[in-house]
Amino acid sequence: VKYFEDVQVGDVMRFGRYEVTREEIVEYARQFDPQPFHLDEEAAGASLFGGLVASGWHTGAMFMRMTADHVAAIHATSGALGFDDLKWIRPVRPGDVLSVESVIREKIPSRSRPDRGLVRIESRVHDQRGEDKMSLVTLVIYRRRPEAAR
Q: Which residues bind other proteins (CB under 8 A)?
A: 28, 31-35, 37, 48, 55-57, 60-62, 64-65, 68-69, 72, 78-88
CB closer to other proteins out of 9 and 81? 81
Q: How far is 121 from 139, CA to CA, in rounded Å?
A: 7
Closest approach, Cβ 137 to other proteins, in A, equals: 10
Closest approach, Cβ 7 to other proteins, in A, equals: 18
Question: Which strands sit side by side in the sheet containing 132-143, from one edge to the other?
Answer: 12-19, 97-109, 116-126, 132-143
Q: Which whole-number Å values give the CA distances from 99 to 4, 59, 70, 73, 102, in the listed order?
A: 24, 11, 11, 17, 10
Q: How far is 95 from 19, CA to CA, in rounded Å?
A: 7
Closest approach, Cβ 61 to other proteins, in A, equals: 4
User: What backbone torsions phi and psi does residue 149 show, to the nearest 5 degrees?
Assistant: -95, 0
CB closer to other proteins out of 43 and 81? 81
CB closer to other proteins out of 43 and 68? 68
CB closer to other proteins out of 8 and 76? 76
CB closer to other proteins out of 34 and 95? 34
Q: Around Cβ 33, how many Cβ atoms within 10 Å? A: 16
Bridge partners for 10 per DSSP: none
Closest approach, Cβ 55 to other proteins, in A, equals: 7
Closest approach, Cβ 47 to other proteins, in A, equals: 8
